[in-house]
Amino acid sequence: MRVSQDRATPRRVAVHRPVQCRTALPQRYDDPGPGAGRGPAQNEYVFELTAEGQLRTAADDDALLLWAAQGLTGGARAWTSGRAVAVASPALSGRDRIAVRGPVAELLPLLDEVTALVGPSYRPFGDADLLAELCARHDGLEALGRFGWMQRTATGLPPLDTGGGSGAGSGGRGGGERPVAHWLASDELDEAADLIDRHFPTSHAHPHRPGVRAWAGVRDGAGRLTALVADAWPAPTVGLLAGVVSDPVHGRGRGHAEAACRLALAGILERSPRAALMVDAWNEPAIGLYRRLGLDHRQLAAAAQRRADGADEADGADRADGAVRNR
């Protein structure tokens, strides 16, 4: 596999033009350079995509890859070879990740090239069937499990009813039978962190860690913070909900998490054409809630690099962060 270093027209017509890689990849597989991967499929070029418009074209406007790219800022990078696309993003929703799509025969050598560049801590993820085939054909990859990606657009669906208001009795801080969410102020974040720590300690989204743009929450009639959801790791055209949690005693079964999700979704869709989240595959109640909010389900999977001793490079299975915990 070669890396384009000139302006020759690539065989991959979806890319606007060949883009020189900022970090040197091996020039040829018969001159591999350090860390080169397996042999080429059809001796394809690798092109780095340095603009989101290029990625949108190469990835067929796939919201998953566009979200992973984070606008190609903060260290995220994207490449294409043939019809395969890979987006490497550091510290994305708690992990170094590589979002992938394309035919397996073309993706395998591209993934090896990208992994040689970014390192084995990066976990491939994408459509479940694609990841299963990648793991079956690549002895260096270990399947970690499946989870859901759910998304909706700002158009073509009924608007989200958030209840409105921001004061006591109408903004989520006062009493009333119908829970109403509000955006948390900075002086509420310690209480939000306590709710997360008690009822969703494995959440990647956390008030005291980077990545979250804003928190939506609900308070009950006694003033207790009972539900939370984060607007986190936003990309220019895709926003993400994460860290969905509710208090098992004071929030469960009362629609508090749903109210917080409605507000966060509406906020995301005011600025972005799409909103999405990740959810555990087993969590049917959460999936049902998100379907009611207009999100469509897509099954994903993740993998990890297997070390020479047979263990995964990163301990622990990959996990979604959009489950309604103790809803």
Whether residues 17 and 160 share a domain: the answer is no
- Looking at residue 225, what is its pLDDT? 96
Give the mean model confidence (pLDDT) for residues 177-188: 91
> Which backbone phi and psi does 25 adopt, to 5 degrees?
-95, 160
Is residue 125 in a domain?
no
Whether residues 260 and 168 share a domain: the answer is yes
Give the mean model confidence (pLDDT) for residues 6-33: 34
- The answer on pLDDT for 291 being more than 60 is yes
Whether residues 6 and 91 share a domain: the answer is yes
50 within 8 A of 20, measured Cβ to Cβ: no
User: What confidence tier does 196 reach under pLDDT thresholds 50, 70, 90?
Assistant: very high
- Looking at residue 76, what is its pLDDT? 97
Whether residues 109 and 185 share a domain: the answer is no
The answer to which of 52-61, 200-209, 227-236, 313-322 has the lowest mean pLDDT is 313-322
Whether residues 75 and 207 share a domain: the answer is no
- Looking at residue 129, what is its pLDDT? 97
Whether residues 297 and 196 share a domain: the answer is yes
Query: How many whole angstroms separate alpha carbon 121 and alpha carbon 125?
Result: 13
Taking the alpha carbons at both ends of the chain, their separation in whole angstroms is: 49
- The domain of 21 spans 2-119
Give the mean model confidence (pLDDT) for residues 64-71: 98
- The answer on pLDDT for 217 being more than 80 is yes
- Looking at residue 34, what is its pLDDT? 38
Whether residues 156 and 266 share a domain: the answer is yes
Query: How many whole angstroms separate alpha carbon 137 and alpha carbon 132?
Result: 9
Whether residues 287 and 213 share a domain: the answer is yes
- Looking at residue 136, what is its pLDDT? 96
How large a percentage of the chain has pLDDT more than 70? 74
Is residue 325 in a domain?
yes
Give the mean model confidence (pLDDT) for residues 20-25: 38
Write out the H or E segment, with its range, that includes residue 89.
strand 84-92
The answer to which of 27-36, 98-107, 168-177 has the lowest mean pLDDT is 27-36
Mean pLDDT (the chain) is 82
- Looking at residue 8, what is its pLDDT? 33
Whether residues 201 and 297 share a domain: the answer is yes
What DSSP assignment string belongs to 263-283? Answer: HHHHHHHHH-SEEEEEEETT-
- Looking at residue 319, what is its pLDDT? 54
Whether residues 236 and 308 share a domain: the answer is yes
Whether residues 62 and 172 share a domain: the answer is no
165 CB neighbour count, 10 Å cutoff: 15
Whether residues 301 and 248 share a domain: the answer is yes
Query: How many whole angstroms separate alpha carbon 174 and alpha carbon 172?
Result: 6
- The answer on pLDDT for 40 being more than 60 is no
Is residue 133 in a domain?
no
Partners of 306 in the beta sheet?
A: 312
- Looking at residue 318, what is its pLDDT? 52
Domain count, the chain: 2
- The answer on pLDDT for 86 being more than 70 is yes
Query: How many whole angstroms separate alpha carbon 317 and alpha carbon 144?
Result: 5
224 CB neighbour count, 10 Å cutoff: 14
- Looking at residue 168, what is its pLDDT? 36
Domain boundary residue, one of 84, 119, 154: 119
Is residue 324 in a domain?
yes
Give the mean model confidence (pLDDT) for residues 216-239: 96
Per-range mean pLDDT, top range of 34-48, 66-80, 162-176: 66-80
- The answer on pLDDT for 11 being more than 50 is no
Give the mean model confidence (pLDDT) for residues 60-77: 97
Look at 223 and 41; give whichever has higher pLDDT: 223
Is residue 111 in a domain?
yes
Q: How many residues does the chain have?
A: 327
Is residue 55 in a domain?
yes
Query: How many whole angstroms separate alpha carbon 149 and alpha carbon 287?
Result: 10
How large a percentage of the chain has pLDDT more than 90? 68
Give the mean model confidence (pLDDT) for residues 30-37: 34
Give the mean model confidence (pLDDT) for residues 114-134: 97
Domain boundary residue, one of 71, 102, 119: 119
88 within 8 A of 77, measured Cβ to Cβ: yes
* Alpha helical stretches, state H, 73-218: 104-118, 128-137, 189-199
> Which backbone phi and psi does 229 adopt, to 5 degrees?
-150, 140
119 within 8 A of 104, measured Cβ to Cβ: no
Give the mean model confidence (pLDDT) for residues 137-153: 95
User: What confidence tier does 155 reach under pLDDT thresholds 50, 70, 90?
Assistant: confident
Is residue 209 in a domain?
yes
Where residue 155 sits, what CATH number does that domain have? 3.40.630.30
* Phi-psi domain of 265 (left: phi exceeds 0; alpha: psi -120 through 50; beta: other): alpha
- Looking at residue 70, what is its pLDDT? 98
- The answer on pLDDT for 260 being more than 80 is yes
Domain boundary residue, one of 79, 102, 119: 119
User: What confidence tier does 4 reach under pLDDT thresholds 50, 70, 90?
Assistant: very low
3-state secondary structure of 28: strand
Is residue 141 in a domain?
no
